[in-house]
């Protein structure tokens, strides 16, 4: 399928190591998809779902020990440890290739190696990057088919000597002790072995589009970020785009496809979804920032997704969707906790065992039908709010960047940074409190700069410097804001309803970008005058509004200490500008 010599040689070399029985080049056709599905149905790798109720949908279960990204087995393999920085696991390239090579050796005997040419971003766009993933999993091929642009057209753009990221994935024995997710930014290479799930194996997603791309972005002068992109159509028909970075499990997918509340909908607001997870952004010749979503699908968490929390997601996943690790019902439909519809009276749970509601495990805890990280993989274009700009090579112009997290008693509902440098400080010190559903101690604050802690492919101190440097290159940089949809009162009651109501805050943000409203200066940044937030149709007591915007000086002084401890880990590499911002915040708080 290709005359690209380097590609041919690399495929041959990897095949010599993994020893598959067969090599199949993926062309991306519909016929090929049907063939692969039939093959996977025959082996049990996939189960065909009820085609009347869920046309084009299939079901997959992963190994029980393989249900989420494994950050502790994920490495950045740069020549020196310093290049990977203090927040990444590091392994030398020599050791990493040897360790993983030993696991890969002969691991595809009796299996087929699929060669997937894929483009992150529209095929042929100057924003886009090409990858080739070798994998022994049909499940991976079919997921990549939804999440990226694959097949013959990609090879045509690659021609005979184009650059590509070498992505090798093998399931091997699916043994956690022999699982490694390795990134070699200096070789433009990813090796993933011993897993068959999600972010570990769909190598175009977190591995290429964030870890490798963040490194390429630093070298080439652009941004690869863990951000949603959405368009907000204003009553006058003009669409403004924003990008937002929240740590995993803080509602990026819900925000990206929110439904305007009645009060604002009647004004004429409409939402356009460009992406829910990743943004690649470049400074254009007009001096402003333009973004594309390099992906073409959603790999969303099922539990908690329902017609109330996210009706657009529910509409998206009615057809052509891969369901992973959810409950399978006797009529071959799917169900998950906090989903839609009546609880099925029986089913097969995500581990493959018979399940009934109310079942308890040995410790007396409820047995879940769906794994808490069970997923749907669905095409963005099926989303009722999908933007008509998704395939545009040039992307969309970004007016505002939002950072956010869960901070029960600290950050106000929204605040605006004083300028780009201050905004970078706000992003660099961003943090979120763990929920009960997350691994670790509930309520514990996890620093997650720009929501990139698990995804930055190089030293994060240099990443902050890169943000500062690009800020200086923009004539009209986006304004940077911080949002916190999760503020609670003194009795731990949530103060803000979130979901569609968040549009009220986005409206204020855009008004700020367009110099339509003034704001109140506080030590941490600008906050809204509550009268400038349209609350039509939302009954919120005045006391709640006051609490939502309260800047609690004592809590912020405590926060300063925690920020300082975090920034300290970067030592001398930390840009001086961020220390100055920290000191300035301290001075402002002490004076207030």
**Binding interface with ligand O2Y (CB under 6 A):** 68-69, 197-199, 248, 277, 299, 373
CB of 252 to ligand O2Y, least distance (A): 7
Burial 147-171 (b: 16+ CB within 10 A, else e): bbbbbeebbeebeeeeebbbbbbbb
Q: Which does 299 bind (CB under 5 to 8 A by kind): Mn ion, ligand O2Y, none?
A: ligand O2Y
Nearer to ligand O2Y among residue 120 and residue 589 (C-beta): 120
Catalytic, 250? Answer yes
CB of 195 to ligand O2Y, least distance (A): 9
CB of 251 to Mn ion, least distance (A): 11
CB of 214 to ligand O2Y, least distance (A): 14
CB nearest ligand O2Y: which residue? 198
Q: Which does 293 bind (CB under 5 to 8 A by kind): ligand O2Y, Mn ion, none?
A: none
Q: Quick one: how far is CA 369 from the chain centroid?
A: 25
Q: Which does 199 bind (CB under 5 to 8 A by kind): ligand O2Y, Mn ion, none?
A: ligand O2Y
Long-range contacts of the stretch 88-95 (C-beta < 8 A, 24+): 88/456, 88/457, 88/458, 88/459, 91/182, 93/184, 93/186, 93/187
Q: Which does 373 bind (CB under 5 to 8 A by kind): ligand O2Y, Mn ion, none?
A: ligand O2Y
Among candidate residues 77, 207, 250, 383, the one labeled active-site is 250
Q: Is 489 in contact with 424 (CB distance < 8 Å)?
A: no
Q: Which does 478 bind (CB under 5 to 8 A by kind): ligand O2Y, Mn ion, none?
A: none
DSSP 210: I
Nearer to ligand O2Y among residue 118 and residue 197 (C-beta): 197
Q: Is 225 helix (H, G, I), strand (E, B) or coil?
A: strand
CB of 457 to ligand O2Y, least distance (A): 15
Q: Is 592 in contact with 527 (CB distance < 8 Å)?
A: no
Nearer to ligand O2Y among residue 71 and residue 175 (C-beta): 71
CB of 289 to ligand O2Y, least distance (A): 22
DSSP 211: I
Q: What is the binding site for Mn ion (CB under 5 A)?
A: 277
Nearer to ligand O2Y among residue 198 and residue 251 (C-beta): 198
Q: If you write DSSP's letter for every residue of 284-334 in order, what string do you get?
A: -TTSSEEEE---SEEEEE-TT--TTT-HHHHHHTTSS-EEES-EEPTTS-E
Segments of 454-577 assigned E as strands: 479-483, 520-522, 525-527
CB nearest Mn ion: which residue? 277
Burial 215-250 (b: 16+ CB within 10 A, else e): bbbbeeebbbbbbbbbbbebeeeebbbbbbbbbbeb
Nearer to ligand O2Y among residue 189 and residue 248 (C-beta): 248
Nearer to ligand O2Y among residue 380 and residue 527 (C-beta): 380
* Catalytically annotated residues: 250
């Amino acid at each position: 399928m290709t005359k690209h010599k380097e590609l041919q040689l690399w495929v041959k070399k990897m095949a010599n190591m993994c020893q598959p029985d067969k090599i199949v080049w993926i062309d991306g056709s519909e016929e090929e998809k049907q063939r692969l599905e039939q093959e996977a149905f025959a082996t049990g790798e996939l189960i065909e779902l009820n085609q009347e109720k869920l046309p084009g949908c299939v079901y997959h279960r992963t190994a029980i020990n393989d249900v989420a990204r494994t950050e502790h087995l994920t490495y950045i393999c740069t020549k020196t440890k310093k290049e990977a920085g203090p927040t990444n696991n590091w392994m030398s390239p020599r050791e990493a290739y040897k360790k993983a090579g030993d696991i890969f050796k002969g691991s595809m005997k009796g299996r087929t190696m699929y060669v997937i040419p894929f483009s992150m971003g529209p095929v042929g766009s100057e924003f886009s990057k090409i990858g080739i993933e070798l994998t022994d999993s049909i499940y991976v091929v079919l997921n990549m088919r939804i999440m990226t642009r694959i097949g013959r057209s990609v090879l045509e753009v690659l021609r005979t000597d184009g650059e590509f990221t070498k992505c090798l994935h093998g399931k091997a024995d699916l043994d956690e002790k022999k699982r490694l997710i390795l990134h070699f930014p200096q070789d433009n290479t990813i090796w993933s072995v011993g897993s068959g799930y999600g972010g570990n194996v769909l190598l175009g997603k977190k591995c290429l589009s964030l870890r490798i791309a963040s490194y390429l972005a630093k070298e080439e002068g652009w941004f690869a970020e863990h951000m949603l992109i959405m368009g907000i159509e204003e009553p006058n028909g003009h669409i403004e785009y924003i990008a937002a970075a929240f740590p995993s499990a803080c509602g990026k997918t819900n925000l990206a496809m929110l439904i305007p509340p009645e009060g604002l909908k009647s004004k004429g607001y409409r939402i356009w979804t460009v992406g829910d997870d990743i943004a690649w952004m470049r400074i254009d010749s007009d001096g402003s920032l333009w973004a594309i979503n390099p992906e073409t699908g959603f790999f969303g968490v099922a539990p908690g997704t329902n017609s109330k929390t996210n009706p657009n997601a529910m509409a998206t996943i009615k057809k052509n969707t891969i369901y992973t690790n959810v409950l399978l019902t006797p009529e071959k439909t799917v169900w998950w906790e906090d989903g839609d519809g009546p609880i099925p009276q029986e089913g097969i749970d995500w581990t493959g065992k018979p399940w009934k509601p109310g079942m308890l495990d040995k410790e007396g805890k409820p047995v879940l039908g769906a794994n808490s990280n069970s997923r749907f993989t669905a095409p963005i274009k099926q989303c009722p709010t999908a933007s008509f700009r998704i395939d545009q090579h040039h992307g969309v112009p970004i007016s505002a960047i939002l950072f956010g997290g869960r901070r029960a008693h600290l950050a106000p509902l929204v605040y605006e940074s004083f300028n780009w440098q201050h905004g970078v400080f706000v992003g660099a010190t961003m943090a979120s409190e763990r929920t009960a559903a997350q691994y670790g101690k509930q309520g514990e604050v996890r620093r997650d700069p720009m929501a990139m802690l698990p995804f930055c492919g190089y030293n994060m101190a240099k990443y902050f410097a890169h943000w500062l440097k690009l800020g200086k290159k923009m004539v009209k940089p986006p304004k940077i804001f911080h949002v916190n949809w999760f503020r609670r009162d003194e009795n731990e009651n949530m103060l803000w309803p979130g979901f569609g109501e968040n549009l009220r805050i986005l409206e204020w943000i855009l008004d700020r970008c367009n110099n339509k409203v003034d704001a109140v200066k506080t030590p941490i940044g600008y906050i809204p005058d509550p009268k400038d937030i349209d609350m039509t149709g939302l009954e919120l007591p005045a006391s709640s509004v006051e609490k939502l915007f309260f800047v609690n000086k004592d809590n912020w002084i405590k926060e300063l200490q925690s920020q300082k401890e975090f920034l300290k880990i970067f030592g001398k590499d930390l840009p001086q500008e961020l220390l100055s911002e920290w000191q300035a915040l301290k001075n402002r708080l002490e004076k207030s």
